[in-house]
Structure 1
């Protein structure tokens, strides 16, 4: 039996980090505005739990991205496949990530991918030789979370 899952990333600004990773991976930011409208109208969600981002109602402090080819619930906007949820937390990042994302660009597209990610707000940390796997760039997203580009 397989299980459904999502990767959850703690953030200082979940909405901005979701925008970065959606652009970086070619994913879509989930649109939960219909669900939010329904919950507000039913009195099941306080207005304080809602914000506006890029002209859309969003859950304050939460944003998710999903693979554009994966199924999603049209009534809620919630993905049912490859999905990353970003959530605001009060404490700052303090150590190296124990879990990170590897972006596989391929040997001919690695440098162009690194440059594109830098244009989105990522920074290069160091280049590493991964042996038969080739050379990888260790990078940081706009909030300092490490990831690799191969």
Structure 2
């Protein structure tokens, strides 16, 4: 017997706002039969194939300290740096820039509520570097 991950849960102070932000970042969508609304304490979004779900739940406590688990994002199209610019435009903030001169590395970002995540190079960038 084994288990599987039903969904990834993100504690937050505004489930609707944060779910909408991540919806834009990931290209996810909400269930049209059960749409997320302002004031909802729980908001669920899905990947296009519905294989991954993110659940945002409002909690009374604010974020404290470093995340013990986080997302590592890889651009589906384009480059890490172009995706970094897009994410900053959506309201992410840089926590730590770990990019190296040779093009490797990543950037640690925070979403609007301070949850950290990383942006990595795209598969195409990695393949190009291996050349």
State the number of aligned residues.
Answer: 118
Query: What is the aligned partner in structure 2 of residue 148 from structure 1?
Result: 118
Q: Distance in 1 between matches of 2:77 and 2:32?
A: 34
- Structure 2: any 5+ residue segments left out of the alignment? 121-131
Query: What is the aligned partner in structure 1 of residue 62 from structure 2?
Result: 92
Residues 30 and 63, structure 1, Cα contact 8 Å, conserved in 2: no
Matched position secondary structure for 1:29: coil
Could you state the TM-score of these two structures normalised by the residue count of structure 1?
Answer: 0.69
Larger Rg: 1
| Residues 5-84 of structure 1: pairs in structure 2 closer than 5 A | 5-33=6-34, 52-53=37-38, 60-70=40-50, 81-84=51-54
Return the offset for 1:107.
Answer: 10
Matched position secondary structure for 1:93: coil
Call closer, same or farther: CA 1:9–1:98 in 2, change over 3 Å. same
Call closer, same or farther: CA 1:52–1:66 in 2, change over 3 Å. closer
Q: Distance in 2 between matches of 1:30 and 1:122?
A: 25
Runs of 4+ in 1 over 4 A off after TM superposition: none
Q: Distance in 2 between matches of 1:18 and 1:124?
A: 20
